[in-house]
Amino acid sequence: MAEVTCLRGINLAGAEFGEVGEAHGKGYIYPSSGTVAYFANKGFNAVRLPFLWERLQPKLYEEFDQAEAKRLAATVELMRAKGMTPILDPHNYARYNGKIIGSEETPQSAFADFWRRLATLFADKNDVLFGLMNEPYEISAENWLSAANGAIAAIRQTGTQNLVLVPGTSWSGAHSWFGGDYGTPNAAVMLGIVDSANNYAIEVHQYLDADFSGKNEECSRAPDAVKALNTFSTWLRDNGRRGFLGEFAVPRAETCQAALAEMVASIETNRDVWLGWSYWAAGDWWPANEPLSIQPLKGRDRPQMQTLATIFADRGRCGR
């Protein structure tokens, strides 16, 4: 089993863009070799790769679309060739064609079937991480736990031992981990994860703006965001769990760069319970004015990338 430790990752968006039915290269795109190489050369050692469940599996319980599966597999190989850990990310918010997992239209068994097929596709690559689902919401923690455990069981039935990243409900926010947005808090329910391989970690996301959504071009709640991560670190330690920060970001403003460094420090100074982090986001199709993007612009690094560069230079914090 591949050791997973001190991941410093980037979300490379694009394969989750557009509407289902749009052609590759028209409505959506996988990251280019140039983009993957840029981030590998900068020091990133992992890529969280968002894609759409519906594109990969156009009909529930049926085979994957062959062309889409080849695109996904080829992109994973591109990352592995650069020494990067790929993290598969069905970017669906616990939905299929807009119907929530556990509904009549999208039964939990369909989610388990999807993951059985996806695990089989990467059965010989134990360095690929399986992110169960991006940001479930409007689903109770109990129902989400049931769906997650079913998917994990299906993965293990294939014989694969890959590390699984398990989010909570309520967008899997660190700040909301102890709240009851949809009933019982994640902090209580998600202790019920069952994995026969005992090879999983809890994935949370944390933004720093006024409503923690990442949609506002400011970082006014940076102290609260850092506090949420530190509190979550304590929860992980107290309960013998591991964590992964799957999404976080700041806009370009100079005042937000110290907050970005502090977020990373919160993870890397608690390496006994954290596997690492992945910044949101980059990708070939982000517009030039996207405030959180660190895709290089006309060959120049974004301010956030300049901040992260100082962190990559300090390899000691990663035990390297």
Q: Name residues whose C-beta falls within 8 Å of residue 256's C-beta, 6 or more positions apart in sequence.
A: 208, 218, 219, 222, 250
Q: Which two tokens stand for residue 295?
A: 């895709």
Q: Which two tokens stand for residue 66?
A: 């062959």
Mean pLDDT over all residues of the chain?
96
Residue 230 domain flag: yes
Cross-strand partners of 48: 11, 87
Mean pLDDT for 31-55 is 98
* Cα separations in angstroms, 307 against 63, 242, 251, 254: 43, 26, 12, 10
Residue 17 domain flag: yes
Mean pLDDT for 281-309 is 96
pLDDT in tens, 147-186: 999 999 999 999 999 999 999 999 999 999 999 899 999 9
Mean pLDDT for 197-204 is 98
pLDDT in tens, 86-131: 999 999 999 999 999 999 999 999 999 999 999 999 999 999 999 9
54: phi then psi, degrees, rounded to nearest 5: -65, -30
**Residue 233, pLDDT score:** 98
3-state secondary structure of 266: helix
Whose tokens are 């608690």? That residue is 270
Q: Which two tokens stand for residue 117?
A: 């097929």
**E strands within 168-249?**
200-205, 243-247
Residue 186 domain flag: yes
pLDDT in tens, 243-252: 999 999 999 9
CATH number of the domain residue 126 falls in: 3.20.20.80
Active-site residue set: 135, 247
Residue 213 domain flag: yes
Residue 171 domain flag: yes
3-state secondary structure of 63: coil
Residue 123 domain flag: yes
Instruction: Answer whether residue 320 shows pLDDT above 60.
Output: no
Q: Name residues whose C-beta falls within 8 Å of residue 133's C-beta, 6 or more positions apart in sequence.
A: 90, 92, 93, 94, 101, 111, 148, 167
**Residue 211, pLDDT score:** 98
Residue 1 domain flag: no
* Cα separations in angstroms, 90 against 56, 177, 268, 312: 9, 21, 26, 28
- Supply angle C-alpha 314, 316, 309, rounded to 5: 20
Mean pLDDT for 208-229 is 98
pLDDT band per the 50, 70, 90 thresholds, residue 273: very high
pLDDT band per the 50, 70, 90 thresholds, residue 4: low
Q: What percentage of residues in the chain have a pLDDT greater than 70?
A: 97
**Residue 2, pLDDT score:** 47
Instruction: Answer whether residue 192 shows pLDDT above 60.
Output: yes
pLDDT band per the 50, 70, 90 thresholds, residue 318: low
SS3 content of the chain, % helix, strand, coil (to 5): 35, 15, 45
204: phi then psi, degrees, rounded to nearest 5: -125, 160
**Residue 314, pLDDT score:** 79
Number of separate domains in the chain = 1
Residue 2 domain flag: no
**Residue 5, pLDDT score:** 73
How many other C-beta atoms can be found within 10 angstroms of the C-beta atom of residue 219?
23
**Residue 145, pLDDT score:** 98
Q: Name residues whose C-beta falls within 8 Å of residue 85's C-beta, 6 or more positions apart in sequence.
A: 4, 7, 9, 45, 46, 47, 79, 127, 128, 129
Instruction: Answer whether residue 1 shows pLDDT above 60.
Output: no
Amino acid (one-letter) located at 152: I
The whole domain housing 128 covers: 7-318
How far, in Å, CA of 293 to CA of 281, rounded? 5
